[in-house]
Structure 1
Amino acid sequence: MVSNVTNGVLPIDEVRAAKMPTRLSWGAIFAGVVIAVAVQLVLGILGTGIGLTMVDPVEGTTPGAAGFGIGAGIYWLITTIVALGAGGYAAARVAGVHDRFDALVHGLVVWGVTLILTLYLLTSAVGGIIGGAFRTVGAVAGAAGSSVGAVAPKVASVAGVDESDVRNEAAAYLSDAPSDPAQMTPEQAQKEIAKQLPALARGGNEGREAEGRIVDIVAAQRNIPRAEAQAQVTRAKQQFVQSKDNAVATAKSATDAAAGAAAGTSFVIVLALLIGAVAASIGATTATRRTIR
């Protein structure tokens, strides 16, 4: 009689590796993101209502823009912490994680997905907030150029030149005005002075020649001694230089202030986002289930 003896070990081809449980539950993460966004929206609408109740134009007790901005920023930070904490807690709880690191990962993924989704939904608004300061820098620079360009008519006005002729400077180059200032009509004199202003602003030998030409025209047109005309042109030129320097200094100061504000805003946003990540992580690790032994 033959008896089959087995040592209790299955053949190799029948050995199957035990399936490891998935450590990252995307379903739980999706649930956490939905909860975080929903809580953020509800609290945001609530904050808008609270802010509107503070507006009282009749009594004149409406807070200023600075106060509104600071209050809105603090409220947004608080709602972000609450929303992401709730989302991280829900994700870890639904996933049923037992390891604190797994819970931490769930919370951080909820934070990341919520951030990306929020930026996608509010691209125009967020882009307006962040890019506003940089657009302000460009606007200030453009305003500086306009301010400096607007100084030239003042010089012409002091010298007895119509300001509109300075803006039509290009047409002045086509003028057939006589070379003798005494033979020029008032319109021709104005165009000739406007023609000389760019060279006067550049300075150097060309600037001195342009200044002499302007002095001759002013003296001839006003029938005053050349020395008196020279004094008038000199005063006009000094006013022009001072106005230009003031405009440039103001533009630089405004640009520096705008750049500093933009940098400060960026740092505050980064800090708020990091606080949100910490809130989601803490909420998730708090939901870690204890392993029953």
Structure 2
Amino acid sequence: MATKINPGLAPVDGAYPGKTPTRFSWGAIFAGVVIAIAVQLVLGILGAGIGLTMVDPVEGTTPGAAGFGIGAGIFWLITTILALGAGGYAASRVAGVHERFDALVHGLVVWGVTLILTLYLLTTAVGGIIGGAFRTVGAVASAAGTTVGAAAPKAASIAGIDESDVRSEAAAYLSDAPNDPALMTPEQAQKEIARELPALAGGGADGQQAESRIVDIVAAQRKISRPEAQAQVTRAKQQFVQTKNETVATAKSVTDKAAGAAAGTSFIIVLALLIGAAAAGFGATAATRRRLR
């Protein structure tokens, strides 16, 4: 008996496998990020209120800067853990994932998007305000300078003063001290010595010339002999060098301490960010476990 073969098409379900369900949901990520930022803001405002209640300048019970900073850092870390944990939990629940790895990915993406969005808001908002303020000040200063430069000759013309007289008077204000130290006023002598000090500190031929000029000024102003003036300048130069060396040593020490503090702060921030990522991942996987039950 012959078997009849049906040449028709196979059923669709048998010919093609079913579509793999989506394992990632950006809508759930967005919901988690919104919840995380909202919780962070609410808890941040609450922390600011708690901190302000601790400030009591009348009774003198205001906490110190170090203790206040440590307390604020701990509170910020706690709020970050709670906010990212809530955001990861919400993202995992909304996405409806059944695998712990999928939930972990949702939680980490919530953490990453929240971090990037926070940095973006800080850099664009604060930087924009500060940059706009400086640009405004610069524009006002430039406009003021242009206005004064244009108005000065006109004002001189109205007052009946020749423009060349105005420029001559301005040059007199900016004129150098007399070359002869004996003809200098005390103010002119001080300005001349101050102008020679950078060359004196630099040393070399220019330094020797500057030192000789300062000795002449000191001798003329104090009415003493040149050797006595040289001795005074030498003592002042030694004191100046000692002060400069002490200043350089202090600056190096402060810079070293600042670098160490910055390195320590960087490590603390990285640790806090990793803790936030762990909180977001834990919240997401916790939602998955509850769903599996």
Q: What is the match of residue 239 of structure 2?
A: 239
Q: Which digits, 9 at most, give the CA deviation of each residue in 1:173-229, with x for residues without a partner?
A: x55524xx56x4446655654554333222234433432343344334433233322
Aligned residues: 247
The answer to whether 1:67 aligns with 2:39 is no
1:33 matches 2:33:
yes
Hey, what does 2:16 align to over in structure 1? Answer: 16
> Partner amino acid for 1:241?
V
**3-state SS in 2 of match to 1:224:** coil
RMSD: 3.4
Q: 1:88 to 1:204 in 2, by over 3 A?
A: same
Contact 1:215 1:230 in 2 (8 A): yes
Matched, 1:83 2:83: yes
Task: Provide the residue aligned with 2:179 in structure 1.
Answer: 177
Compute the displacement of 1:117 (Å).
Answer: 2.2
Q: How big is the shift at 1:246?
A: 2.2
Provide TM-score, normalisation by structure 1.
0.72
Shift of 1:232: 1.1
Q: Does residue 258 in structure 1 map to residue 262 in structure 2?
A: no
Q: 1:186 to 1:122 in 2, by over 3 A?
A: closer
Does 1:272 pair with 2:272? Answer: yes
CA distance change for structure 1 residues 194 and 44 in 2, over 3 Å: closer, same or farther? closer
> Distance in 1 between the 2:259 and 2:241 partners?
27
Q: CA deviation at 1:111?
A: 1.0
Structure-2 separation of matches of 1:60 and 1:82: 33
Distance 1:236 1:22, change over 3 A: same
CA-to-aligned-CA distance 1:54-106 (integer Å, 9 cap, x gap): 11111100101111111011011011111111111121122221111111111
Check the 8 A contact 1:84/1:279 in 2, yes or no.
yes
3-state SS of 1:91 partner: helix
CA contact (8 A) 1:35 1:87 kept: yes
- What is the distance in 2 between the residues matched to 1:125 and 1:85? 26
How many Å separate the matches in 2 of 1:31 and 1:191?
A: 68
The one-letter code of the counterpart of 1:28 is A
Superposed, 1:127-166 pairs within 5 Å as none
Structure 1's 88 and 12: CA in aligned 2 closer, same or farther, altered over 3 A?
closer
**C-alpha distance in structure 2 between counterparts of 1:234 and 1:207, whole Å:** 13
Q: Which residue does the alignment assign to 1:100?
A: 100
Q: In the alignment, is the contact (CA less than 8 A) between 1:98 and 1:290 conserved in 2?
A: no
Residue identity in the other structure for 1:265? T
SS at match of 1:73: helix
Q: 1:175 to 1:44 in 2, by over 3 A?
A: closer
Percent of matched pairs sharing the same residue: 76
Q: CA deviation at 1:22?
A: 0.2
Single out whichever of 189-198 and 273-282 deviates more from structure 2.
189-198
With over 3 angstroms needed to count, the CA separation of the structure-2 counterparts of 1:53 and 1:93, relative to structure 1, is same
SS of the aligned residue for 1:264 comes to helix
Q: Structure 2: how far apart are the matches of 1:235 and 1:278?
A: 64
Q: What is the CA distance between 1:277 and its match in structure 2?
A: 0.5
| Counterpart in the other structure of 2:161 | none
Assess if the C-alpha contact under 8 Å between 1:177 and 1:192 holds in 2: no
Q: Which residue of 2 aligns with 1:121?
A: 121
* Residue 247 (structure 1) shift: 2.2
* Distance 1:275-1:126 versus aligned 2 partners, 3 A rule: farther
Q: For 2:124 and 2:253, how far apart are their aligned partners in 1?
A: 29
Q: 1:126 & 1:256 partners in 2: Cα distance?
A: 29
Contact 1:104 1:281 in 2 (8 A): yes
What letter corresponds to residue 245 of structure 1 in structure 2? N
